[in-house]
Chains A and B, each alone.
Chain A
Amino acid sequence: MNNPLRYRGRTFYQSGYQRDERSGREFTTLQVVSNTGWMIPYVSCMIVGVGMAYQFVLTLLRFLNRSRRSAGVETPLKSRLLPATAAPPGGAAKWLPLAITLLAVAYVGSKARPMSVKTGQMDYAAFAKLPLAYEGRVKPFDSLARNSLLILSGKQEYKDAEGRKQPAIRWLLDVISGKSDSRKLNVFRITNLELLKILKLEPREGFTYCVDDFADRMPEFVEALQSVENVPKESLTVYQRSVRDLGQHIMLYRTLMEAFDPPIADFPTEEEFQKDPEAAGKAARQSLMQTMQEAQRIEDAQVPLAIPMPEAGDSAETKTTGNWLPFASAAARAYLQRQIATDPKTGKPFEIPQQTVLMQQMLSAWRTDDVAKFNDAVREYTGWLKSHKFEQLNLNKVRFEAFFNQFAPFYWSMVLCLFVFILSAFGWLGFTEPMRRSAFWLMAFTFVVHTFALVARIYISGRPPVTNLYSTGIFIGWAVVLFGLVCEWFYRLGVGNAVASIAGFITLGISHFLAEGGDTFTVLEAVLDTQFWLATHVVTINLGYAATAAAGLFGVYYILYALSPRPKAEVGRAVTRMTYGSLCFAILFSFIGTVLGGLWADDSWGRFWGWDPKENGALIIVLWNCLVLHAKWDGMVKDRGLAVLSALGIIAVSWSWFGTNQLGAGLHAYGFTNAARIGLFVTWALSLVVSGLGCLVKKSEI
């Protein structure tokens, strides 16, 4: 966001904005910095970058020259990397990987089928692809339905009265169309027994309850809610947190209803007008005012905006809602216009926007189970959208997002990672080569799915791959899987498969868990909204995390392998080379990434390095990688020591990735989760135990 002004030794940055609500006066805060040497970090960064790149290329060339000199039939690289036992694949080693991969492709492919409904039924699948604007971006109804249901119940599906699984969009349609059945759907997940007692509810399987279950206990609940209102977030007990969460969930539910429920006040009837025109006129004016006010209030309330208004101009009124309106206020305005009949400005009759009418038809048809009317209205509305193009709506993107939701490629990647790990594990027991090859090709397919998902997210969000904590998970996972696959491709020992599958499973699992907060395509704080830095700093630093984590996992593998019954020395050496290679990547990416982060800060508020916890975390990773590499260069550690130190590096990564966020807020902090704390403790304990094992074993075989 910042385009700092540099003048006579001082630099002015935009830093803050305040608005006095009473006077409406606006204030700006400028950060004014005088720092003579502000260019030094830029130069240093590039000097180090050039030096590292030179060293990198030089080593590569030397490596190539060396292999060129050593003439041989076998390619030198391969001969050095491949274990002597590797026989040309044949038999089971050939057809098993093919069969397994094809099976996986077929299965995942079947999941990639777009959602569809049988003819003669309500075409909610088509409705799910219609656009709306909410929480800062345009998305399909499907996303709103899934994310809302996920927040309320922790799932993207629900069970209807007959106990059949149903897609979220049906629930959303029930809610927004005001169908009375929607009050009977069990979608509120309440697990706290104390809270259940207040609501006079019995614990039941799944702990999901419907609106009617607790509607009559609202006064008691509101009381409970008020008592937790002023408790600071950090000191909430489990019960208090449940109360607060349920309060927020009910608010979300109400927001959804409100956004689609036109707030039309009662207008006097024709008869009343005839009886007493004056009183009726007064009442009508009052109703008009009331409706207008309510419509305005809903527009200000940041609710889902379902009605596109391509003609809406850029004015103070449309500042928040842009070219969109909530259906509630659009319908209310349409209703009022029909009451007034003619536009006082132009003198012509008002034209009710067609999109509002169609949305109204869809909702009422859904409410009355009118299949033909619903499907016609959806079709007609889709056609209307196609013929009315405007900047804030990219219909293809919205429809693609609905497909992406339905496909859930990250979920399938996670599942596939688990299978890869199982295959790798079986490979250690016997039948090694066919299993290893199967694991590799399945992992490769998983990587394709994962990559597709990552690219899909970039397309949908229009941003570089990493923008929030959720996306760091999927990106770091992707990078570690890539490292693992490359290592497997070169070394063919099954190590890469194991590391890639474990890392993929854990990181995607973490992300899956983080996604329960709702929409994962979140908007960014103003200062962070710079594509350039997102594309450079954030990507690089996360690659640094990934490489350090990969090195750590290779280290863990080395230690565990050395403990196994009959370890082979050449495998140990190969794993060491993988560890070392990952470390070299790690230092390159983490150093450059950290410095770029500093440059971002310098460019945003004139402070290259602020010793902020997240920055310090990144610095610790850099320092740790430096320590490990220098210890190796000095010969202080050999293969086993390198493995032990690398395994400890996992602590540094997890500290920087999640630990610093736990310490408190700050620009970089993403939230407080108890699970993260436990996860961190477990990670650190495991990492310490494995490193300890590596140190304790006196003289391993390799």
Chain B
Amino acid sequence: MSEMPANTETTRPTPGPLARVLAPLASLKLTVVLFALAIVIVLAGTLAQVNADVWDVVDEYFRIRPNQLAEGGLSAVKAFFVWIPGQIFLPVAFFPNAPTLPAWVGFWFPKGWVIGGVMLLNLLAAHLIRFRIQAKGLRLAIGLWLLAMGFVVTWLVVVSGDNNEGIQTETLISYRQLWDVLLFGLFGLAGGSFWLGLNTGREHVVERRLAFGAAATLMAMFGWLMLSGVSLWQDSSSMRILYQLVKGTVAGVVLLAGCEALFRKRAGIVLLHGGVALLMISEVLVGLRAVETKMLLGEGETGTYVFDTRHPEVAIVDTSDPKLDTHIVVPLARLKEPGNKVSDEQLPFDLEAVKVYRNSMVPPALPPEKDNPATAGVGLKRQIREVPASTGVSNESAVDLPGLYVKLTDKKTGADLGTWLTHVFEGPQTVTVDGKSYELELRFGRTYLPYSIKLINVSKDDYLGTKMTRNYSSEIQLKDPRRSRMTN
């Protein structure tokens, strides 16, 4: 990278009203302050993970929750800020004997997205004011057209990743061809450096040496890749990533051409800022739209649904129809606090949370203690025991196993149907209301797929002489009513 062109300081003709309004927002000083704030929130968001689950931290410190915004009033204002307790700045790993600070030690701070949003505005304003289009007439037209094409290509590349219809493996060119193209690109770069060296005056010893040195290095790389039989193109996972990056590069180059026409020398800066903005927008998109789920399959099993360990639900299943089960689900989030009630006309009974465990287990061998809340079902024989919730810095694969004591009441009569133990590792239990049976269970939130997946074989390869995993692989069969099979 290089020095930013110095003409930011040059006097311009009297700024228009827009520029005058935007000037404070476009200030580079604001940029610097925003960077500092961003560092603080990222650091706080890291330290908070010592004692909290990473997803809670992400929601609390970085992302704005739309539902909190919708609440309106003070809540909506609060949605933009986070209360950072001072305690997190004394992590045990660094300060084993740190004192416990009182709860009021801390400060309100804007959330990550807020800072990012202001950064975007700052960036936009700066570009509106300081990065003038330096093209006229034909050049302007070509520039705008190229830029538009760049947007189209970018959009196409992004959309190409989102294949709603079928399996995505086809590429425009084969990996072998792609590899050759890349190799010759390297050769071209080497040639270009050599040409640059030749065209530099003899008196510029250092520059010539630099250029020739670069040419020699690139040439050596090319030679090595060509001759030593490095056949990366046979490695499909590497080539897949390379292919995706090449697609991105194509979009970048077209955009650069447009920027070059419009902004000339500052094209690179405009483009890279654009890329950063796109990245920030992508984080918001992911926060709002992406869904991560899991699927657990034994060999030979067929799965038709995925589950989301971050969103458990209480399910009441009506199995009376032999052809079709009816699942009525209540997100556990609605029964988060003891006393929370859920009543809905679709439900055969009302639910009331008695006790909620974020992370827990039900030891099968331990009989319940005196204070057992359960009055029906398996809860009479076993009891939920609380386990410390997992944190962001602990083992990454740790998943909280929620448990819930739920009190059921008959809708019509108001009769107590008992307090039931439910836990994600406990099977469904039968509740009878008005002579009709329902299955009650707490489970990780399910989403049923419009197709099914059968695990044919899963294997684990170890490193030589150890039991450390080198690789796992699953062979699965995907059955879509609309298509034929495909394996992974």
Contact = CB atoms under 8 A, between A and B. Distances in A.
Nearest to B265: A58
B294 A50 contact: no
**A31, A34, A56, A587: most-surrounded residue (chain B CB, <10 A):** A34
Contacts of A468: none
Contact of A46 (B200, B249, B268, B466): B249
Interface stretch (B324-332, B401-409, B450-458): B450-458
Given A5-B167, A36-B162, A526 B471 contact: yes
Interface string A34-49: 1111111111111111
B203 to A, nearest CB: 6
Interface in B141-180: 154, 157-169
B15 interface: no
Interface string B375-417: 0000000000000000111111100000000000000000000
Contact of A17 (B57, B203, B458): B458
A304 B293 CA distance: 41
Interface string B408-436: 00000000000000000000000000000
Contacts of A609: 283, 286
Contact of A523 (B271, B273, B276, B463): B463
Interface string B445-488: 00001110101001110111111111111101010100000101
Given A77-B204, A627-B36, A588 B458 contact: no
Contacts of A580: 3
Nearest to B281: A40
B191 interface: no
A662 B35 CA distance: 25
**B450, B474, B476: most-surrounded residue (chain A CB, <10 A):** B474
**B62, B449, B458: most-surrounded residue (chain A CB, <10 A):** B458
Contacts of A533: 241
A680 B94 CA distance: 10
Contacts of A680: 94
Nearest to A608: B286
A85 interface: no
B46 interface: yes
Interface in A586-635: 587-588, 595, 599, 603, 606-613, 616-617, 619-620, 623-624, 626-627, 629-631, 633-635
A607 B275 contact: no
A611 B465 contact: no
Interface residues of B, number: 134
A312 interface: no
A7 B166 contact: yes
Contacts, number: 408
B42 A623 contact: yes
Interface stretch (A205-213, A314-322, A470-478): A314-322
Nearest to A655: B43
Contact of B292 (A8, A33, A55): A33
Interface stretch (A20-28, A93-101, A327-335, A498-506): A20-28
A39 B158 contact: yes
A30 interface: yes
A584 B29 contact: no
B204 A76 contact: yes
Given A30-B474, A41-B282, A67-B207, 14 more contacts: A1-B471, A7-B167, A8-B164, A17-B458, A17-B472, A41-B279, A49-B249, A51-B269, A319-B462, A526-B469, A612-B396, A627-B35, A633-B4, A664-B93
Interface of B: 1-4, 8-9, 28-29, 31-32, 35-36, 38-39, 42-43, 45-47, 49-50, 54, 57-58, 62, 91-94, 154, 157-169, 196, 200-201, 203-207, 232, 235-238, 240-242, 244-245, 247-249, 251-253, 255-256, 259-260, 265, 267-276, 278-279, 281-283, 285-286, 289-299, 306, 391-397, 449-451, 453, 455, 458-460, 462-474, 476, 478, 480, 486, 488
28 contacts: A7-B163, A7-B478, A8-B163, A14-B473, A16-B472, A27-B299, A32-B295, A45-B279, A46-B251, A47-B154, A47-B248, A48-B271, A48-B275, A52-B272, A55-B1, A55-B269, A64-B207, A67-B204, A138-B464, A304-B465, A305-B465, A324-B465, A607-B290, A627-B36, A630-B31, A664-B394, A672-B93, A677-B93
